[in-house]
Amino acid sequence: MTEQIYEIRHIEGRNRFEILVDGREAGYASYVPREGNVLDFNHTVIDQAFRGRGLSLPLIRAALDHAREQGATITPSCSAVAHFISKNDDYRDLCENRTP
């Protein structure tokens, strides 16, 4: 299997993280900033042409790592983000209520 080359970027003005494959947007994770330095991750989408490649995992990980670096807590309104956290205990401390 060939290693995937992708880029993840934070588009702060659009409140989202994008994952690009070969320069093409393959998906995004969006958030809504809330009072008290809380980021509500409310939507994760991987374009149909890129599904099945596991791209949501590095996308969500990068978004949550960014939240941690900023000292923010998160609300995992998006089921994909909540599922990721339920499988990765080292991110549970970021949750506003600590149980996604």
pLDDT at residue 100 greater than cutoff 80 = no
Collapsing DSSP states into helix, strand and coil, what is residue 55?
A: coil
pLDDT in tens, 75-90: 999 999 999 999 999 9
Length of the chain: 100
Please give the Cα distance from 78 to 37 (Å, whole number): 18
Q: Out of 3.60.10.10, 3.30.565.10, 3.90.1150.10, 3.40.630.30, select the CATH number for domain 6-94.
A: 3.40.630.30
Instruction: Give, as one character, the DSSP assignment of residue 47.
Output: -
Residue ranges of domains in the chain: 6-94
Q: Kindly state the helix (H) or strand (E) to which residue 31 belongs, with its residue range.
A: strand 24-34
Please give the Cα distance from 81 to 66 (Å, whole number): 14
The answer to whether 95 and 74 have CB atoms below 8 angstroms apart is: yes
pLDDT in tens, 25-61: 999 999 999 999 999 999 999 999 999 999 999 999 9
Confidence of residue 2 (pLDDT cuts 50, 70, 90): low
